[in-house]
């Protein structure tokens, strides 16, 4: 198998290799590998944050995939399943959450344009809509409770509370992130560094999409 690698132009092999083979001579500073190394400051590329966020989302997808399969199996085997009628406010909550994704996009546009003020404003609005969503979910819970439907009432209601709670907890994490961004809004807009906003947006839109998936699942399978 032919393997020929040309050395970089700035280096003569003999000089560096002679140093490189020094395995036994103590710690030798920076390994004595001299010129063939670059010395720009080490950076974590923005790509890494996006990859990390997508990986985190993959994990969350699996959590809900497991819950989904539990729902499907439990319902399939059940002789005790009493479907849970979804409180109507859920649809309003959905609209609110979708609206929040739109406002988040508007905030991203502002930060790209360097407008710190608008950026922060849209962020707060997004967070507020997120909180409104959570409040709406809580109202849905209260409505079920008033009908006497609780976590343990029926497997169907168990899944309702489980899925909405799991989503809600993750969403509140997202709200925290939004508020953190808002507090740093001016600095972020000025720095031109978009990646914190980008990854938060990925997460938030994912929460939005996840909710729509859950709503359909609850509607069809509960």
Partner 1 sequence: MADAHAEAVHVHKEPTRFIWKYVFSLDHKVIGKQYYFLALFSVFVGMCLSILMRWHLVWPDAHIPGLHWLSAAGAPNDQMTPEYYLSLMTMHATLMVFFVLTTAPQSGFGNYFLPIQIGAEDMAFPRLNMLSFWTTFAGLMVLISTFFVADGPPLSGWTAYPPLSGLGSVSGPGEGLGQDLWIISIAIFCVGSLLGALNFIATLLELRTRGMKLMRLPLTCWAWFLTAILALLSFAVLFSAGVLLLLDRVGGTSFFVPAGEVISDKLIRGHAGGSPLLWQHLFWFFGHPEVYIAILPGMGITSHILSCFSRKPVFGYRAMAYSMMAIGFLSFCVWGHHMFVSGMSPYTGFAFSVMTMAIGVPSAIKTFNWLGTLWRGRLQLTTAMLFSLGFVSLFVSGGLSGLFLAQPPVDVNLHAGYFVVGHFHMVMGVAAIFAMFAGTFFWFPKMFGRMMNETLGKIHFWITFVGVYCIFMPMHFLGIAGNIRRYSRFTEVIFLNTPHMIGLHEFMSIAAFVTGAAQLIFLFNLFWSMFKGPKAPQNPWHATSLEWTVPSPPPFDNFGGRHPVVHHGPYEYSVPGAAEDYVMQDSPEAMAAH
* Interacting positions 46-85 with partner 1 (CB under 8 A): 46-49, 51-52, 55-56, 58-67, 69-70, 73-74, 77-81
- For residue 146 the two structure tokens come to 């008033």
Nearer to partner 1, 95 or 150 (CB): 150
- Site for partner 1 contains 16 (CB under 8 A): yes
Q: How many residues bind partner 1 (CB under 8 A)?
A: 72
Closest CA to 144 of 87, 82, 215, 214: 87
Q: How many Å from the N-terminal Cα to the C-terminal Cα in the chain?
A: 61
Minimum CB separation of residue 102 from partner 1 in Å reads 25
Nearer to partner 1, 96 or 159 (CB): 159
Minimum CB separation of residue 59 from partner 1 in Å reads 5
Rounded Cα distance between 187 and 52, Å, is 23
Instruction: With beta carbons less than 8 A apart as the criterion, state whether 123 and 178 touch.
Output: yes
Minimum CB separation of residue 71 from partner 1 in Å reads 10
Q: Which stretch binds partner 1 (CB under 8 A): 24-32, 92-100, 124-132, 135-143?
A: 24-32
Rounded Cα distance between 39 and 19, Å, is 19
Instruction: Render 79-145 in DSSP notation, one character per residue.
Output: SS--PPPPPTHHHHHHHHHHHHHHHHHHHHHHHHTT-HHHHHHHHHHHHHHHHHHHHHHHHHHHHHH
Nearer to partner 1, 12 or 95 (CB): 12
**Among the listed residues 98, 128, 172, 195, the single contact to partner 1 using CB under 8 A:** 195
Closest CA to 180 of 133, 127, 131: 127
- Site for partner 1 contains 192 (CB under 8 A): yes
Rounded Cα distance between 113 and 190, Å, is 10
- Site for partner 1 contains 45 (CB under 8 A): yes
Rounded Cα distance between 222 and 27, Å, is 66
Rounded Cα distance between 104 and 125, Å, is 8
Q: Which stretch binds partner 1 (CB under 8 A): 14-22, 105-113, 170-178, 210-218?
A: 14-22
Minimum CB separation of residue 39 from partner 1 in Å reads 5
Nearer to partner 1, 60 or 98 (CB): 60
Minimum CB separation of residue 44 from partner 1 in Å reads 5
Closest CA to 102 of 205, 2, 212, 215: 205
- Site for partner 1 contains 113 (CB under 8 A): no
Residues 132-191 that bind partner 1 (CB under 8 A): 151-152, 155, 158, 162, 166
């Amino acid at each position: 198998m032919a393997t020929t690698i040309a050395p970089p132009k700035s280096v003569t092999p003999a000089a560096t290799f002679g140093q490189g083979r020094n395995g036994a001579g103590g710690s030798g500073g920076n390994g004595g590998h001299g010129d063939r190394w670059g010395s720009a400051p080490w950076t974590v590329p923005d790509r890494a944050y996006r990859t990390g966020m997508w990986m985190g989302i993959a994990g969350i997808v699996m959590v809900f995939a497991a819950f989904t399969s539990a729902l499907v199996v439990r319902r399939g085997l059940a002789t005790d399943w009493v479907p849970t009628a979804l409180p109507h406010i859920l649809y309003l909550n959905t609209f609110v959450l979708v609206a929040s994704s739109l406002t988040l996009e508007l905030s991203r546009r502002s930060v790209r344009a360097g407008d710190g003020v608008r950026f922060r404003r849209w962020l707060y609005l997004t967070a507020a809509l997120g909180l409104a969503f959570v409040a709406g979910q809580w109202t849905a819970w209260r409505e079920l409770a008033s009908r006497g439907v609780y976590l343990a009432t029926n497997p169907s209601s168990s899944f309702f509370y489980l899925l909405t709670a799991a989503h809600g907890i993750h969403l509140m994490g997202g709200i925290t992130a939004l508020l953190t961004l808002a507090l740093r809004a001016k600095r972020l807009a000025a720095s031109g560094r978009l990646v914190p906003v980008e990854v938060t947006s990925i997460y938030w839109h994912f929460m939005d999409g996840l909710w729509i998936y859950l709503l359909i699942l609850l509607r069809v399978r509960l």
